[in-house]
Amino acid sequence: MKILDAEFVKGFIRMANDGWEQGWHERNGGNLTYRIKADEVDAVKENFTFDRPWTPIGTSVPFLAGEYFMTTGSGKYFRNVILDAEANTGIVEIDEKGENFRIVWGLLNGARPTSELPSHLMNHEVKKQVSGGKHRVIYHAHPANTIALTFVLPLDDVTFTREIWEMATECPVVFPDGIGVVPWMVPGGRDIAVATSELMKQYDVAIWAHHGMFCSGEDFDLTFGLMHTVEKAAEILVKVRSMAPAKRQTILPDDFRDLARDFGLTLPEKFLK
Ligand code: 13P
Ligand code: ZN
């Protein structure tokens, strides 16, 4: 099968374009990776070449040994993914130790995978384990309202989760585990990857202060929908705080407990104090 005919490739391209249309991907902002299923790899493997060099990932992900990932390219614009996927995205293979990758398709003309590959792969490694292999998508974007909140809210998981949950009744239903917050750190390296993947043991959403957001999910729809839900709630919170110094009424802790009971959710009490 031709790569561009594969459903996972079509889904990847559509998600990149949806993110662009939301305004979350100025210039080369953001990156997307997908852990490809074994049968999907088999269906497109005839297009792969194995002559490009192994390159250090910059961290170690032994639980991802031998896996294949589709990834956006470093410095590449989400705007251009739909126009030329082979130049702006690629497929990489992870070696037997989980320490090196090699490009087997795409990323033409010397392009590299996203500079956030260490964060993506460490998140994938954690999520593969805690979700029993279900989570396959890691998505990083620069949505403006979420970023704006990192300048005015205290940078802790409890405050962000509770403030964002209060902005839309669907929020605790969509992300009942809450949101993690990473303080400002230099992007692109192992340290921020370790901090983010630590949060991904508990959460499907991690906010990078003054930078953006990471979401993890089982498929493209769920992961995009998660980012969209958090950013929409963040937009409401920005509007609320712009209109008045305090909320006049809101969803209260016992309201969340009632919601949890009727929707069969487990909402951690630490967010309901
Ligand atoms: P890349 O172009 O290397 O993916 O980087 C974009 C980005 O958002 C860095 O955090
Ligand atoms: Zn970024």
Question: How much is the pLDDT for 222?
Answer: 99
Residues 73-112: pLDDT tens digits? 999 999 999 999 999 999 999 999 999 999 999 999 999 9
Longest dimension (CA), the chain: 63
* Ligand 1 atom at minimal distance to the Cα of residue 72: 4
The CB of 29 under 6 Å from ligand 1? The reply is yes
116 catalytic residue (yes or no): yes
Q: What is the DSSP string of 159-219?
A: HHHHHHHTT-THHHHH-TT--EEEPS--TTSHHHHHHHHHHHTT-SEEEETTTEEEEEESS
Query: Ligand 1 centroid vs 42 CA: distance in angstroms?
Result: 29
The candidate with the shortest Cα–Cα distance to 174, out of 241, 104, 139, 223, is 223
Give this prediction's pTM. 0.98
Q: Which residues, 6 or more positions from 27, have their beta carbon under 8 angstroms from its beta carbon?
A: 77
The residue count of the chain comes to 273
The CB of 118 under 6 Å from ligand 1? The reply is no
Q: What is the mean pLDDT of residues 180-202?
A: 98
Query: Ligand 2 centroid vs 212 CA: distance in angstroms?
Result: 6
